[in-house]
Amino acid sequence: MNSATNPTSDIASQILERENQEKQALALLLDRYLARNDQILVQKVEMGGSEAYIGSATLEWFARRVRYASRLPLLHQKFNPDTENVEIDAESIEEIQQRPLDWSRQAALAQYLAARKTHKFPPVLVVINQPWVDNPKADQWNAKGRALKSATNFIPLDKDATVGLLDVSQDVTIFALDGQHRLMGVQGLIELIQTGKLPRYKKDKKPSGGVITVDDLREEYQVEPAYLQNLANEKIGIEFISAVVTGETYEEARRRVRSIFVHVNLMAVPLSKGQLAQLDEDDGFSIVARKVAVTHPLLKDIEGRNPRVNWDSATVAAKSTVLTTLQALQDMSERYLQQKFPKWKPLPKKGLIAMRPENEELEQGIKDFSQVFDYLATLLSIQKLEHGAETPELRRFSFEKGGGDGNILFRPVGQVALAQALGILVFKKGFSLKTIFDKLQKYDADGGFSGMENPQSLWYGVLYDPNKKRVSVAGKDLAARLIVYILGGIDDDMERAEIRREVAEARTMEDQAMGFNGKFLEPRKVGLPPVLL
């Protein structure tokens, strides 16, 4: 049937044509408004009685136009322009609205944006302010000190006034209420793009002496200058709130803004180290640790036995039945594999952050780290777990309630020290794991890892603090070097002498050192046990 004789078809065509025309008209209208730098397209939202406007802006605009909350006129008298922070004293403590900025984070945040292709910053929360807000005699305040209008100028584009344009002209000042460190990172990125380098700072913005350069990023991460230039045009989400809304007094506005800041930060609970290790998809050592934790028979969850890994906390409670923590596994992975995969962790002096390794390297790292646990499972102390023993009794000191073995293999600090020593021996000294564990099996059977609280133990004073009667985390590196020593990995006489001196120092209380026979003697007479054969 011809459309000329079909009224329904004609009407449908007219409707479609009108919709297309309306879309084109809307597109032209938006293009005209959005081309201006003094307006942003936003959606109006409301929560808890507070109005806000959600939109987005380029990173370059964000870095240029948004200021730090500490620059709010309200705080100018106590503002330190060098650190961008408010100096806290008896007067300003009630006015402070933001925690101090940590400028040591800027370089890492900027590098994250520059080098990680899948970078993402959450939206920021900003406050819009106008000059009249801080002038109590301005016409916008009535005789009772209440605002006659809002500090935000919103131009609605729909009948319900939910979508429109927000005035962000030069007269308007904008302050980051939540997201100051994101602002810091973006400003660092723009500086890096524009100057080719970014200084690194200490927390208080004093120069640390280091600099990140575009050449560093090109060499380490193959980041090209053209790619960096395009980053300035990426967009970040922004939620705008008004410094003052209609009907508020200045003090009511201040309280409202401060309250929003406090509540936003209370909700933002920082992740624990264990949680970070669970979620990190870029740090190769974390990825390897997670994989081995869930797949290796010694560590993975098996029905009918207690879990072996604490996934959240970085420590093991006295009565806990776990063998280790995810954080300890991540440390073990790093200290063992960093000798083989040094590029997984960039040089600290350049201040660069880790990037996800290639899959082939990750697979090799998982294989190598799993092999360590294959051999650990052959040690007599660890095999006790398969014969009904529980970790608390193997971990506890002999003087604690219920008694215990005081075995360093059941303490995260001992596990990390052993992994560090194994990495040095295998990847730097050329030892095989089989040769190493042939010696360690006999050493373990003779009680070498046990009784760390006893003076006869090599770990007394090193991993065990006799004064505080608890584990000493500070002795971790010395413990690793001692393991390298007893396994025959140190040939240099000067290095052996240095280890002996450090052991004597660790076992010294006042002017007397505790000898391996349980008697006090001069520190210089403390020796070292023989190398394992």
3-class state of residue 308 by DSSP: coil
Amino acid identity for residue 172 in this structure: V
pLDDT of residue 424: 96
Chain centre to alpha carbon of residue 505:
35
Residue 307 phi/psi, 5-degree rounding, is -55, 145
Q: Could you tell me which of 32, 85, 37 has the C-alpha nearest to residue 58?
A: 37
pTM: 0.66
Q: What is the mean pLDDT of each run of 10 residues along the chain (533 residues)?
A: 62 81 77 76 86 94 91 54 51 46 88 88 93 91 94 90 92 90 95 93 88 89 90 95 92 82 62 63 87 94 90 83 94 95 74 78 96 97 92 92 92 96 96 96 96 95 93 95 96 93 92 89 89 91
173 and 93 Cβ atoms separated by less than 8 Å:
no
3-state SS track over 499-532: HHHHHHHHCEECCEEECCCCCEECHHHCCCCCCC
CB distance 428 to 342 below 8 Å: no
What pLDDT does residue 77 have?
44
Q: Is residue 526 within 8 Å of residue 515, measured between CB atoms?
A: yes
What CA–CA distances, in Å, run from 294 to 280, 308, 310, 329? 16, 10, 12, 11
Determine the pLDDT at residue 96: 42
Q: How far is CA 190 from CA 113, 120, 513, in A?
A: 10, 16, 58
Closest CA to 414 of 504, 298, 300, 323: 323
> DSSP label at 73?
G
- Amino acid code (one letter) for 17: E
Cβ–Cβ under 8 Å, residues 103 and 205: yes
The stretches of 119-205 forming alpha helices (DSSP H) are: 180-195
d(CA 139, CA 136): 9
464: part of which helix (H) or strand (E)?
strand 464-465
Helix (H) or strand (E) holding 126, with range, is strand 124-129
- Kindly report the number of other CB atoms within 10 A of residue 67's CB atom: 17
Q: Is 87 exposed, middle or buried (0-12, 13-18, 19+ CB in 10 A)?
A: middle
Residue 392 CA to residue 385 CA, distance in Å, equals 11
Q: How far is CA 216 from the centre of its chain?
A: 22
Q: Are 505 and 512 in contact (CB under 8 A)?
A: no
Residue 194 backbone dihedrals phi, psi, to 5 degrees: -80, -30
185, HSE (Cβ side, Cα atoms, 13 Å): 20
Given a contact cutoff of 8 angstroms between Cβ atoms, the answer to whether 529 and 506 are in contact is no
Q: Are 449 and 495 in contact (CB under 8 A)?
A: no
Using CA atoms, how far apart are residues 120 and 473, in angstroms rounded to an integer? Answer: 36
Neighbour-count burial of 28, counting CB atoms closer than 10 A to its CB (0-12 exposed, 13-18 middle, 19+ buried): exposed
